[in-house]
Structure formats: C-alpha cells, structure tokens
A and B are shown apart, each in its own frame.
Chain A
C-alpha cells in the first residue's frame, strides 16, 4: 500500500494524546500475566537441571505424586515427540527429553493446591543424571574435540569436518575483496567478543491454563504473540487451533523475549492431567536461567580505507551462539553488519555454534547490534588512525537511495544521510570534552517487516469507534492505532478505543516483532477505516437518494461531492451511526493483509562518557539519538522507543553479561548480580526524530522499535576507547575489564 502523498497535513497523527494504558498501569488496575486467576486453580512449579550438560538416566516422581495436595506431575514422557523439528526444539526447551542441555533446563513439573506444596513436591522428585562435559564459550565450542551439545543438527551449508556444534553457515556480500583492500591506504583487522545479555523485561513469564474435560482449552499469558503461542501449544498438545483460545494479558516488557513459549505448554499439560486450571509464574532466577537471552558472539573484522575516508572493502567473520539449539540469528547479523555503507566490496561470513546455554530468544533487532558494534568500532579506529572526522567519514560512505546494499537489494528512500546530517549540525557534536572523557558515535540499521495482520473496526451507534487488533501492545500501539483510525475517519482521538483480541475473536496476526505493529496494523486500520467510510457514504447516499459515487468523506462527515450531487448538509459519522439500524444494519470495516513495504530504518547515536581511571567505572554524560521514523504517529512513544533502546544498549555495553562458572552454571541469575542501568546511572536521553516518509505506507510510517538498540554498543565502545586511549574489543566494558585495559596501557 503506497504512500498517499508526501506532504500530507495530519490532524491527529503526530500529536501526543494521553496514553490509553497509563491510568491502569499507574493505579494497578492493569491485568498482567500473574494477575489472572480461576476458581479451583492449582499452582505449577518446574524442577530444573543443576547441570550444564547431563544425560537423564531416570526420573522417579512417585514420592511427589503421593504428597497430599499434588494433583499432577509432568515429565517429557507425558508429551509426544513432534515430527516438526522447530516445534520439537521448542518443546524440548520447555521440558528436557533424554538430556539436559544447560543449567536450568526443565526436567519435571508439578501442579499442587498451593505454592508450598508444589515446592515441596519438587524436592521429592528423584532425577538421576550422568554428567557430561560441557561447553559455554562460542569459540571453544567450535573447536574440534569440543563437547557435543546435540548431534545431527548440522545443516547442508556447513563444510564437512567441522565440530558438530556448528549448525549453520551463511555468506553475504558482493564485489572483489582483494581488489578493494588493495586500494586502501590503511587496513585494520580486529577481533571482538560480546556477552549474552537478557532482554531484562520487568514482568516475569506467567500464564494460566485451563483444559476442560471435552478438550477445549483457554490460556492466558503474557506474550508478544497470542496467535503464535496458540500455534506452538496446539502442536505440542496435539490440539486443533480452534479448541485453544489464547488471551494475551497486559505485558510488562518483551523486547523479543516473549515471542515464544517456555511455560505455557507445561501449564496446559498439567491442567489436562489434573483437570484443574494451572497457573505458573516464573521466578527471576528462572527467567534468567531458562528463558532466552540474546546470542553471545565472537567476531573478526577487516576494513580498508583511503586517506580521505573512503571505505574500499569490508569483511566480517561472525560466530554466534544461540545456546543449546540451532539458531539463525547470525544470518541477520551478517546482513546488517555493513548495511549503513555504500561499498563496492563487502563480504560477511556467519556461523552458528551450539553451546550449553539457554535457547536464544529474539532481542530487539536480533543479531544486528553485535555485528554493527564490531564494524563501527573498526570504522572509528580507522578514523582515529587517519585523523578523520568520524561523522564526515560516515557521510562520505553512507548508503542512500539507489545504493546496492551489502545484503543484496537496492535501497529505496532511506534516511541515513538525513540522520547523519542532523547529528553533524547538533550542538552535542561540537560540545567541549573534559579530561578522561570521550565521544563516540555509531550508525544503526534494522530491516523492519510487516506480516500477517487483521483489523476489525466497528462504528458504534453513539458515534464512537472500536478497533480490534491482534497484537499485544508493547510500545504504545493502542494509542497509535487509535490515532490512525481517528485521522482517517475524521473524528477526535478520544472517540476511538483500540483493544487487543484473543485468538478466537480475530484472524491470525503475526507476533509483535520486527517493529511491525504500528506499520502493518496501522496500515490495516487505515484500510478498515476506508471500508467503513465507503459504507457510511453509501448510507448517506441512500438517505439523500443520490448515487454512492456522488458522496465523499470530508472532515468526519459524508458530503455531496460537487454541485451536481445536490445540496445536502454534511452527515457526520455520529449522525450516520445513529440511524445505522434503519439504513442497513451495523457499520464496520475490516482488513486482512500480509503487509509488505515496511521500509528499513536507520539511526545515529552520539554519546559522551567519562571513565574513572582509578576504578574503571564509566559514566554516561550525554546521549543523543537521531532516527528516521518515517512518520512519528505518537512522538512520545517514538521517543520512548529511542530512549529505551539507548538505555538497554548502555547496559549491554557497560555491565550486562551472562557469567558462567567452570562448572557451566550461571553465576548471576538475578538483578543484584546482573546489573541493568537504573535511572541514577543515566543522563537524559535526548532524541531527534527525522521523518523521511516510507513509500510503502499511506502515512509514511516506519517501524521504530528495534533500530535504537543497534548503535549504542559501538557508540559507547568508541567513546570509551577514545576516553581511555585503548581500543576496547570486548563487551561489556565493565569496571574490571576497563581497569585491566588501563593498566596494560601503562
């Protein structure tokens, strides 16, 4: 669906109305996953592996089953083995089958009348393990002779002779690397590592499952995609989709981590076995140990540059580990690594390697932050070595309309140059720096996509409007959808209420991911509103006794289209709605689409830091985010996405990491030891929204949710490296790591 007009004037879109979920969230009225209850509800608890890697020799549940108050005990023996490999991996991650693959892997579950009984029952389950050698480091896992996490998972694209932990290989790019590097005046090669980090959502996973005796089931859960939850759970449970209704609760953060299931099939299976509703709420320890962090990575980068700052060639070797199961995230990293640059010679090589860590789940722009961190670090170092302005170098090499991207397609209208120019002219870029301070910047990129989307829009007889969509609101989508409906219908924002439907009330909607919702649900809402408008124009035509084509919709009312249509006063939406029963029945608009044309997104981050030379602690002094939003529907929310991405990136760059002991067990499964940034760690995050309309959306909207987490890793690493005079090549740049670098400098 193409852009309506490049210079449209909006009345509602672009304003900042009060968020519809605000009151509920600040008063405690909002219903999160753990708030759902049902009569006769049991409490479910999960027993988890204390080993990083072990064969399950036997599980004796008899004592637990005999405990008073226990109504069901579950192991993988209670579940069938799905034929589909993807579903089988999801199920095996929810409940280990044969082997435990990481510390915290689920091995059994109980449902009991109360939490204390459930906890006591877990202690009565006797699991006999045969401990196996483990590997948690991505480079170690790739070596011949490394402990094998799973055998037989290697795809056809992996060359023979590699470790069985290597599951896939990908290569992207174009041009002649050797010739490109030969043109360079300076070539830098560096190796980088990044730690696995968790999405860190405040709300732990929670669900309530209720399976009736006739096989019909209901599931309430906090998720980014109730329809996908239904697909996964129905497959695992052997149910028809129509028999399982999934309702998404209010969600306390997801960031990609709630795009799959961890406890939902377990709760359903316990409910089916016990005949009672079963509720499971994860502890924070479980969230860290058994839900997906992002990949850990190890990367080698080589970039050549001329004296005047033209990049002549770029090469990246990316080794990602998505934990104990095959994972395709490295493909996204390989495509994103050099996307900001217009290059004649570029190549990325990606490898996924299994390790004894939890199964990776998506985390905003999965795979891109790591690769772009490494590439942007080397670009920055080349600028330092050649005495060049890092923003001017990026402008000189920036991808633009007509650039053949590093991953293949030719770019259409994109906003990278505009964001770089905005950064260049911003006072932040030229502000003075003090001792031990450094300034860094980085470009960021994400693909964005659309996907399967259904919207139903109902005109109520009192002139208000109800919009039903199928994606949980993780970033303000109910407000932005209402705004787009109001804009199109010509009614005030306050007249529209958008709700999120359960899986039995609307057609299939893809997961809330890929920064797709404001783009694709917005697009479907506009189309649904236009269908309703057509209906309302037809009703007015009937009332006036004129042809439907002689009626047009202007400023929220049907009007005669020109002098030949006759003289009738405009009929407002409310007036048409009030007589809808008399003119043909309820008025609604629907739209179903597999949306395309999402349009890629670019951003630039600029950051100042100060490093304490005595402690190695880094303080972020100033941070500015520049991003192309296409059209910011609700600028508050767009700024919130930009600020949130920056903050998560600050944590990733400076402190957050999964730390494993020699025994392969996670050492810091809690917010005391896994340190996310808090308000007192942060300066105000300044935002500059640019609006280069997306030609694939009627209002020009682009997704904005993922791009902001891409640049911070490199921007902060570049700032820290300049502050301390040592190129930092491993994340997080925690105080001990920085202190070591400072001491090695002498």
Chain B
C-alpha cells in the first residue's frame, strides 16, 4: 500500500482524510486506484495533477515506479511562465 497526501480541497472526496492509502506500483496505477476508491477525485484527476515522489515533482510519467515507503504527494498540475 502507498500513502498519498492530498491537498486540502480534495478532502471533500475522501471523507475529510488528508492522507489515503491505495495499492499502486506506479503513477498510473495510483491515479486509477484513487479514482476507483474515491470517485469524487475524478474531475480533478481528469483536469490534471502532478505527483511529488520523494520530493521530486512529476507532471505526467505514468510508469514512474512508486515504492511502498515512498513519500507521495498529489499536487495540482504545475504550470510556469
């Protein structure tokens, strides 16, 4: 299981939980499992999210490996100028 930290406004979809656990070995599985377990997250995930894995931010990269002890933080899709 992987622990995923969510930003505040996503907690409405997880019964107020700031951190949830899902079974996932990579970013793609993480997103799929989050949607399956918490359907209320789907609109935001469809709009786009980034993932910070052990402090490193990924904007896409579905097959980035996630270890069970990794720090995983879901973030809005990053944009820059």
Contacts and interface: CB of A to CB of B under 8 A. Distances in A.
Interface of A: 155-157, 169-174, 199, 255-257, 259, 328-329, 331-332, 335, 347, 349, 362-366, 407-412, 446-451, 513-516, 594, 596-598, 696, 706
Given A199-B81, A409-B57, A412-B55, 16 more contacts: A155-B43, A156-B40, A156-B43, A157-B44, A362-B80, A362-B81, A363-B81, A366-B80, A407-B73, A408-B75, A409-B73, A447-B78, A513-B81, A514-B81, A598-B57, A696-B56
Contacts of A362: 79-81
B56 A408 contact: no
Nearest to A599: B56
Contacts of B79: 328-329, 332, 362, 366, 513-514
B71 A410 contact: yes
Contact of A596 (B40, B61, B77, B81): B61
B43 to A, nearest CB: 5
A705 B79 CA distance: 14
B9 A335 contact: no
B64 interface: yes
Interface string B30-53: 000000000010011000000010
| Residue of B8, B60, B61, B75 contacting most chain A CB atoms (<10 Å) | B8
Contacts of A598: 57
Contacts of B78: 332, 447, 449, 514
Contacts of A446: 80
Contact of B80 (A257, A408, A412, A515): A515
A171 B81 contact: no
A332 B77 CA distance: 9
Contacts of B64: 596
Given A169-B9, A335-B75, A259 B81 contact: yes
A174 B71 CA distance: 15
A173 B18 CA distance: 10
Contacts of A594: 59-61
Interface residues of B, number: 29
A514 B12 CA distance: 30
Nearest to B64: A596
Closest 5 CB pairs of A and B: A256-B81, A171-B8, A514-B80, A362-B81, A409-B52
B5 interface: yes
Nearest to B11: A171
A259 B76 CA distance: 19
B80 A407 contact: no
Contacts of B52: 408-409
Contact of B12 (A157, A255, A328, A407): A157
A251 B34 CA distance: 42
Nearest to A155: B43
Contacts of A411: 55
A335 B54 CA distance: 17
24 contacts: A157-B10, A171-B7, A171-B9, A172-B7, A199-B81, A256-B80, A328-B79, A331-B76, A332-B78, A362-B80, A364-B81, A366-B81, A408-B5, A409-B55, A409-B73, A411-B55, A449-B57, A449-B78, A451-B59, A514-B80, A594-B59, A594-B60, A596-B61, A597-B56
Given A362-B81, A513-B80, A408 B59 contact: no
Which one of A156, A335, A366 has the highest number of Cβ atoms from chain B below 10 Å of its Cβ? A156
A332 B60 CA distance: 17
A170 B9 contact: yes
A472 B62 CA distance: 27
Given A366-B81, A596-B64, A170 B76 contact: yes
B79 to A, nearest CB: 6
Contacts of A514: 78-81
Nearest to A511: B80
A366 B55 CA distance: 21
Nearest to B44: A157
Contacts of B43: 155-156
A601 to B, nearest CB: 11
A335 to B, nearest CB: 7
A408 to B, nearest CB: 4
A504 B71 CA distance: 40
A679 B12 CA distance: 51
A199 B81 CA distance: 10
A297 B66 CA distance: 38
B60 to A, nearest CB: 6
Nearest to A703: B80
Given A335-B75, A449-B57, A594-B60, A408 B7 contact: yes
Contacts of A170: 7-9, 76
A412 B57 CA distance: 11
B50 to A, nearest CB: 8
Given A408-B73, A449-B59, A594-B60, A516 B80 contact: yes
